[in-house]
Chain A
């Protein structure tokens, strides 16, 4: 299985900050990488697929980049509703696998 490792596992930031979360794959996944947001007690929400393409309705403050083994999710101008846990997922090879999550907390 392809292992997905996110860093950091947790992150404290302030409203208005810009933050970057990193996701590394144990082997190349081309651009087959997605990002999801999950708030406590809620279902995940799809943010980005194909490493950098925003899902419909997702604001442009979210951006993704990368290819191969190294990817980033950047969130600009943090607002209170952005504080959540973020997961990356590769869908290059079965079984599709998620990273362990990055919890973004308010400083």
Chain B
């Protein structure tokens, strides 16, 4: 069974750093892209970017490039989304998803709530 399990909720202060994770299981992790999607409170879905675990090839939404880092550790089947300096506007739920080459998401993680507050 394909599963993507994300790390738990985080509460951080502005300026702090954070790295959230997404661990895949039940499939060959290096054969599928992993993507990240942001959902701000009460809002819709925003595509942030995707990474190919086999070679770390990355495609970014320009709106997020420079604001976050997407990385992967294929030895432990885990993808990451990282901030160096959080802002209040980063408060959102972040979903990871398995992204099939040539198509789009088929399986999703459960979401990670990030709250940034003074």
The interface of chain A, by Cβ under 8 A from chain B, is 32, 34, 36, 38, 43-46, 49-50, 55-56, 87, 89, 91, 94-101
The reply to whether B106 and A55 form a contact with Cβ atoms under 8 Å apart is yes
A98, B103: Cα distance in complex, Å: 14
6 contacts between A and B (CB under 8 A): A44-B97, A89-B104, A94-B59, A95-B60, A96-B61, A100-B44
Question: Which parts of B104-118 form the interface with A (CB within 8 Å)?
Answer: 104-111
Given contacts A34-B104, A89-B104, contact A95 B47 (CB under 8 A): yes
Minimum CB–CB distance for B93 against chain A, Å: 9
Given contacts A43-B95, A43-B110, contact A96 B103 (CB under 8 A): no
* Nearest opposing residue in chain B for A89, CB measure: B104
Given contacts A95-B61, A98-B47, contact A46 B105 (CB under 8 A): yes
The reply to whether B103 and A91 form a contact with Cβ atoms under 8 Å apart is yes
In terms of DSSP, what is the predominant structure of the interface of chain B? Answer: strand
The reply to whether A101 and B104 form a contact with Cβ atoms under 8 Å apart is no
The interface of chain B, by Cβ under 8 A from chain A, is 37, 44-47, 49, 59-63, 95, 97, 100, 103-111
- Enumerate chain A residues within 8 angstroms of B47, measured Cβ to Cβ: 89, 95-98
- Enumerate chain A residues within 8 angstroms of B103, measured Cβ to Cβ: 32, 34, 49-50, 91
In terms of DSSP, what is the predominant structure of the interface of chain A? Answer: loop
The reply to whether A95 and B63 form a contact with Cβ atoms under 8 Å apart is yes
The reply to whether B104 and A96 form a contact with Cβ atoms under 8 Å apart is yes
Given contacts A87-B44, A100-B44, contact A34 B105 (CB under 8 A): yes
The reply to whether B62 and A95 form a contact with Cβ atoms under 8 Å apart is yes
* Nearest opposing residue in chain B for A99, CB measure: B44
- Enumerate chain B residues within 8 angstroms of A99, measured Cβ to Cβ: 44
Minimum CB–CB distance for A37 against chain B, Å: 11
Report the 7 A-B pairs with minimum CB-CB distance, sorted nearest first: A95-B61, A43-B108, A91-B104, A98-B45, A96-B47, A101-B44, A34-B104
